Structure 1
Amino acid sequence: MSEHFATNLKLACSHYRSISEVCRQLSMNRAQFNKYLSGQSHPTSYNLKRIGDFFGVEDYELGLPPEQFARLIGARTTAEAQRSQSDPFAELFQPLHEHCGNLSRYCGYYFEYANSMSVPGMILLSLVHVREERGRYLFERQERQERSSSANVQSEDWIRCRYLGAAFQLQDRLFMVDYESLTVNEISQTILIPSFKSRITRLNGLKIGVSSGDRRTPACTRVVWEFLGVEINRINAYRQVKLYHLDDPRIDDDVRERLSVGPISNGLLEIE
């Protein structure tokens, strides 16, 4: 690794427009990355895996003899390019990836509070996880609501939804686009106002989607994202994911106010 790593890293970076682009997509410090390129230092095991994942190679392959590594990455880069060129979706969204800002400070878990699109007058609390993967920012949103109002709700009485999506920071807004992965019957978009404070607490925004009822009415609601941390007790957090009445004491006044202020009546706008 010590003998060939820097040479192979330079070759891998040559497939990108600049070192700055690589560092930005990896969310790595440029000065430290330059030390890797010059051979002055070597990455930790964690950073080595990140670099390998980003370039689509195994950790040990970064230490192969340069000639062997060149053939390896050349073949994989060609295959990647061919797949990208044959996929119109990849071509369509490539400019978004190139202009997307660094969302590393937003990675972690959130509670999302929203006016329910399916049960008007209720607040839906969801669990969101934003993460970085190979220079891209992805997120998962878990929702559930009980079919019955009975206090003894069994597991089969819950409706569960799992949304998977991508996050982009374009100029001064965060754009979150996702789809419901269990039924694949809905795409939603959330736009958040980023935090300009040193510590993220709550983010305000709007979400557009459809209700889960028979009419599948398009609707728009205010949302509040509450930052929970990078590592949390997911079981305890997921137990709180459900519908709440507007006057439920577990929903604080600040959240209620953020969901109700402004021109959207009752926090929810239905589009007929």
Structure 2
Amino acid sequence: MSDGGKMDGLPRNLRYLCDSKGSVSHVCRATGVNRQQFNKYLAGQHRPSAANLRRIAQYFGVAPPTLEMPHEQFVSLMDGNSHRVLDELRSAPKAMDFLDHAVRGDGAQGGELPGRYDRYHFSSIYPGRILRAAFCIYRHGSLLMHYYVERFPAYDTPGKADYVFKYHGMTMPLAGRIFAIDYESAQRNELTMSIFASQDRSSRRYLFGVTNGIAATMLRQPFSTRVVLQYRGEGLLQRGDLKRSTVLDRNDPQIPFEVREFLTSQEDMIIL
């Protein structure tokens, strides 16, 4: 059977994927497609409905039109596709060891990190000024998570917050460094990634690093800047921590000397 060449490739492509992912019955259970109906797809007797094709494609991690490619092209594409890379990673002990350390925390260092911090970096909204945010690392089961709050005062009413951004994400101690990736959850727009290290491997008072942010649209430019975490104490963020979150002049005496030295030693910010 042929439908512009699509039906010629579809049965063979489905069989190829089923063979690489396990039994046909398992694929049917996972997708909710009737086994008898699926057998007809494999035999080329029927074409899946749009809904079933979408379910099958979603399960295998490909776009629906990809399932209908000529078989030789399909195999060539799948040989370099992500699901094969992930299968290989799962069978690679070193890769799994890396992921385990990244997700669960790097030994004693991960145990020292939870607590409240001031987070300092140059602001992409108030050029030339330093943003102090309230930052917290906490344990969630075996994982290290974090959240932080940025408050930008109004130009005409400095005591009032004009913008408030809230970020949530995961903290990953790895090889003497701390990686943090998070998502802005108030406006659901920006993704940021940071990497920190301490001056002294036994100290967590100050963690120095770089942070990068990119919004979902280019209406806000991507940015990169130095960033510092200053440890304040144990527990989750308190009201006083949130009130401290603001934008400061780079010479403001509230900014610790170590922070100001690190942030202002060279150019304040890189706009990408």
Matches within 5 A, 1:5-84: none
Rounded Cα–Cα distance in structure 2 between residues aligned with 1:170 and 1:233? 25
Rounded Cα–Cα distance in structure 2 between residues aligned with 1:172 and 1:249? 31
In the alignment, residue 243 of structure 1 is paired with which amino acid?
A: V
User: Cα gap change, 1:254/1:94 in structure 2, threshold over 3 Å: closer, same or farther?
Assistant: same
| Contact map agreement 1:123 1:246 (CA 8 A) in 2 | yes
Q: Following TM superposition, by how much is the alpha carbon of 1:109 offset from its aligned partner in structure 2, in angstroms?
A: 0.6
Q: Indicate the percent of aligned positions where both proteins have the same amino acid.
A: 23
Q: Following TM superposition, by how much is the alpha carbon of 1:195 offset from its aligned partner in structure 2, in angstroms?
A: 5.7
The counterpart of 2:134, out of the listed 119, 127, 130, is 127
The counterpart of 1:228, out of the listed 228, 232, 237, is 232
User: Cα gap change, 1:178/1:149 in structure 2, threshold over 3 Å: closer, same or farther?
Assistant: same
Aligned to 1:98: 100
The counterpart of 2:209, out of the listed 200, 205, 227, is 205
Rounded Cα–Cα distance in structure 2 between residues aligned with 1:214 and 1:149? 28
Q: Deviations over 1:235-254 (max 9, x none)?
A: 11211101011122212332
User: Cα gap change, 1:97/1:242 in structure 2, threshold over 3 Å: closer, same or farther?
Assistant: same
1:175 aligns with 2:179: yes
* Structure 1 residue runs without a partner (length 5+): 1-84
What CA RMSD, in Å, does the superposition of the two structures yield over aligned residues? 3.0
Larger Rg: 2
1:117 aligns with 2:131: no
The counterpart of 1:162, out of the listed 163, 166, 185, is 166
Secondary structure of the residue that 1:236 maps to in structure 2? helix
TM-score normalized by the length of structure 1: 0.58
| Contact map agreement 1:206 1:221 (CA 8 A) in 2 | yes
In the alignment, residue 270 of structure 1 is paired with which amino acid?
A: I
User: Cα gap change, 1:212/1:238 in structure 2, threshold over 3 Å: closer, same or farther?
Assistant: farther
In the alignment, residue 240 of structure 1 is paired with which amino acid?
A: R
User: Cα gap change, 1:159/1:179 in structure 2, threshold over 3 Å: closer, same or farther?
Assistant: same
Q: Deviations over 1:62-112 (max 9, x none)?
A: xxxxxxxxxxxxxxxxxxxxxxx99989x9997654122131101101000
Q: Following TM superposition, by how much is the alpha carbon of 1:142 offset from its aligned partner in structure 2, in angstroms?
A: 0.8
Q: Deviations over 1:95-147 (max 9, x none)?
A: 65412213110110100010111111110000111011110110001111023
| Contact map agreement 1:117 1:221 (CA 8 A) in 2 | no
User: Cα gap change, 1:148/1:203 in structure 2, threshold over 3 Å: closer, same or farther?
Assistant: same
Secondary structure of the residue that 1:239 maps to in structure 2? helix
| Contact map agreement 1:144 1:159 (CA 8 A) in 2 | yes
Q: Following TM superposition, by how much is the alpha carbon of 1:152 offset from its aligned partner in structure 2, in angstroms?
A: 5.1
In the alignment, residue 225 of structure 2 is paired with which amino acid?
A: T
Aligned to 1:147: 154
Count the aligned residue pairs: 180
Aligned to 2:9: none
TM-score normalized by the length of structure 2: 0.58
Rounded Cα–Cα distance in structure 2 between residues aligned with 1:240 and 1:115? 16
User: Cα gap change, 1:98/1:86 in structure 2, threshold over 3 Å: closer, same or farther?
Assistant: farther
